[in-house]
Amino acid sequence: MMRLHIIVVGLLLAHGALAQKAAPSGGAAAPGGKQTTVKLKVPPLPPSTLEGLTAQLADAAWIPASKLDAKIPAGAEVALIGADPVSTAPTIYMRMKAGYKLPLHSHEHLEYDTMISGKGTLTVDGKKIAASAGTFVIVPSRAKHEFTCDAGAPCIFVVRRSGPTEYNWATK
């Protein structure tokens, strides 16, 4: 996180130096020699997973998982816990309604899945894994995997990736 702050401060200082060079009076020069104020809008950064971090499921800010990838079928939601500020690897909660099926796909980076509620079947490279609260699975890079949540109760996971999120959808 500290490295990211240093980069942002460096960019802001460089921008200020360029603005001063363009207008020796200290501001950016506008047509006619008048000064203008330049305001940069920097979006808030997610909590860093490189520092101490606590998350509570009850406080999760859920959004449709289709916001990550439009091909994710309706019925799944995600909530950001934090991200590695260098690699942008996210840690999220993922919640799926009872009976939901996340289709076969892969990722370029490792995925660490810990099921915290519900029951279902995770299939990784053709191997079926019965999943329930407490199940932990490392899905290797580029391994084709899918998940089906059993009927009766929603399924909730903590998902951590080793790099940015992207989905490569399989045709089986």
Task: Give the model's confidence band at 43: pLDDT under 50 very low, under 70 low, under 90 confident, else very high.
Answer: confident
Of the candidates 136, 141, 138, the one whose C-alpha atom is nearest the C-alpha of residue 106 is 141
CA distances from 51 to 2, 25, 46, 83, 92 (A): 10, 41, 12, 10, 16
Checking if the pLDDT of 8 tops 80, the result is no
DSSP one-letter code for 48? B
| Whole-number Å distance between alpha carbons of 103 and 54 | 30
User: Could you count the other beta carbons within 10 Å of the beta carbon of residue 96?
Assistant: 22
Asked if the model's pLDDT at residue 9 lies above 50, the reply is no
Amino acid present at 100: Y
Model pTM greater than 0.85?
Answer: no
